[in-house]
């Protein structure tokens, strides 16, 4: 059974609702930020544009200014500049406070990550209570789920030597997985710090029974001597993938190489109900970041106005948190929880029964209405 058709006439601000999971901080920043938006291809331009629309309104309410410049990456960049990652985009990104990225089919993204050394990729996987029935698992298996996948992003098999060749046995291809010990150590320190700030458990994905020359377990455990409160749990990646499906609540922070982290974090889409819900932040040592949803270009729905923007919005929330704009980040998340609790769903969340199907723009308008409502009712002031 399809969900109920959306109508703005049926939507009313709930003045009596209160924030239960979000305590809004009460300070305005008066800061100024410049970001570079790289919409990319497929649904990328759609989700980036509406996310920036929401971000600009929150900036006005929270009294910080946001300048947005637009860059190019992927096939659109290739057509215009002859390069997947043109110098024009790099020049825009230099000196900015963050990059908000949509999606590309191929080319440019790995170069962008490597250029700015975005080695630390944070991928939160959290269940929203009102979407617990959208998970592929039973509610009791998923309730309260809160996992942080930390993926090393600028080394490993995606950046090793690769090619095609042939010999007397025939044609062959190869990709090389290479990690310097210091690359593993630095991402290990980031993961240990996050685990220390959370519930104190770090699971390390590895495949040392088949790849013994990549000693993730030993190197992480050596770094862990500086974090005595963190329990380090090495786990073979194939078993880890199974455990994420069988018993996901056992995990706190998961540390993985580039390839393993790419695969494991996508399991999160099945756990929470849709890849469209998941955002990520990729940071370098200076705290400069690239912020994106973890979904791809989704060419089958591109241009239809039905894409779920919550992954990109979630990435923007991570950007706000990185800047220290905590109240703005909490405001967006509180609004998201309220809108989803009222039954509004984009198509990827398969609305059923009384749930209300909305498109991309309608969801943004609902979020904005809740943000204004929260400012007015929870804070006692509505900034014009």
Active site residue 286: no
Active site residue 69: no
* Domain spans of the chain, in order of start: 1-131+273-384, 136-270
- The CATH code for residues 136-270 is 3.40.718.10
Q: Catalytic pick from 262, 291, 337, 344?
A: 262
Q: Catalytic pick from 114, 141, 201, 207?
A: 207
User: The whole model's pTM is what?
Assistant: 0.89
Angle of the 44-62 helix axis to the 326-341 helix axis, nearest 10: 120
Active site residue 158: yes
Active site residue 238: yes
Per-residue pLDDT reduced to its tens digit, 197-245: 999 999 999 999 999 999 999 999 999 999 999 999 999 999 999 999 9
Instruction: Say whether pLDDT at 331 is over 60.
Output: yes
Active site residue 172: no
The residue behind tokens 């990109």 is 312
Does residue 108 come out as left (phi exceeding 0), alpha (psi in the -120 to 50 range) or beta?
left
Establish whether domains 1-131+273-384 and 136-270 are of one fold: yes
Strand 356-357, strand 4-5: pairing: parallel
pLDDT at 201: 99
Looking at the domain covering 1-131+273-384, what would its CATH class be? alpha beta
Q: Give whole-number Cα distances, 372 to 57, 328, 383, in Å.
A: 9, 12, 9
Per-residue pLDDT reduced to its tens digit, 6-61: 443 433 333 333 223 333 344 456 899 999 999 999 999 999 999 999 999 999 99
Q: Using CB atoms within 10 Å of the CB of residue 290, give its burial: 0 to 12 exposed, 13 to 18 middle, 19+ buried.
A: buried
**Adjacent-strand bridge partners of 35:** 68, 98
Residue 371's CB is within 10 A of a number of other CB atoms, namely 22
**Adjacent-strand bridge partners of 292:** 101, 280
């Amino acid at each position: 059974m399809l969900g109920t058709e959306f109508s703005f006439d049926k939507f009313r601000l709930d003045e009596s609702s209160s924030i239960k999971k979000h305590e809004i901080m009460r300070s305005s920043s008066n800061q100024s930020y410049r970001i570079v938006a790289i919409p990319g291809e497929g649904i990328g331009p759609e989700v980036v544009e509406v996310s920036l629309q929401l971000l600009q309104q929150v900036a006005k309410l929270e009294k910080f200014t946001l300048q947005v410049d637009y860059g190019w990456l992927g096939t659109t960049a290739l057509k215009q500049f002859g390069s997947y990652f043109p110098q024009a985009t790099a020049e825009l990104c230099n000196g900015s406070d963050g990059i908000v990225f949509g999606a590309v089919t191929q080319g440019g993204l790995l170069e962008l990550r490597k250029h700015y050394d975005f080695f630390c990729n944070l991928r939160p996987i959290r269940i929203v209570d009102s979407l617990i029935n959208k998970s592929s698992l039973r509610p009791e298996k998923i309730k309260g789920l809160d996992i942080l996948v930390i993926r090393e992003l600028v080394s490993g098999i995606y950046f090793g030597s690769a090619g095609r060749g042939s010999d007397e046995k025939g044609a062959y291809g190869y990709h090389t997985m290479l990690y310097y010990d210091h690359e593993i150590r630095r991402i290990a320190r980031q993961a240990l710090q996050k685990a220390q700030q959370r519930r104190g458990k770090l699971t390390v994905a590895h495949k040392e029974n088949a790849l013994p020359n990549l000693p993730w377990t030993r190197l992480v455990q050596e770094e862990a001597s500086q974090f005595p409160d963190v329990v380090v749990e090495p786990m073979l990646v194939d078993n880890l993938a199974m455990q994420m499906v069988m018993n996901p609540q056992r995990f706190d922070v998961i540390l993985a190489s580039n390839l393993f982290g790419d695969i494991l974090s996508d399991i999160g889409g099945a756990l929470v109900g849709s890849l469209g819900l998941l955002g990520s932040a990729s940071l370098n040592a200076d705290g400069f970041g690239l912020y994106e949803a973890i979904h791809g270009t989704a060419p089958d729905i591109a241009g239809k106005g039905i894409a779920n923007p919550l992954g990109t919005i979630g990435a923007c929330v991570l950007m706000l948190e990185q800047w220290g704009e905590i109240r703005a980040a909490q405001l967006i998340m509180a609004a998201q929880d309220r809108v989803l609790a009222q039954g509004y769903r984009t198509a990827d969340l398969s609305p059923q029964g009384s749930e209300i199907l909305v498109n991309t723009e309608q969801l943004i308008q609902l979020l904005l209405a809740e943000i204004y409502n929260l400012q007015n009712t929870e804070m006692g002031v509505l900034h014009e």
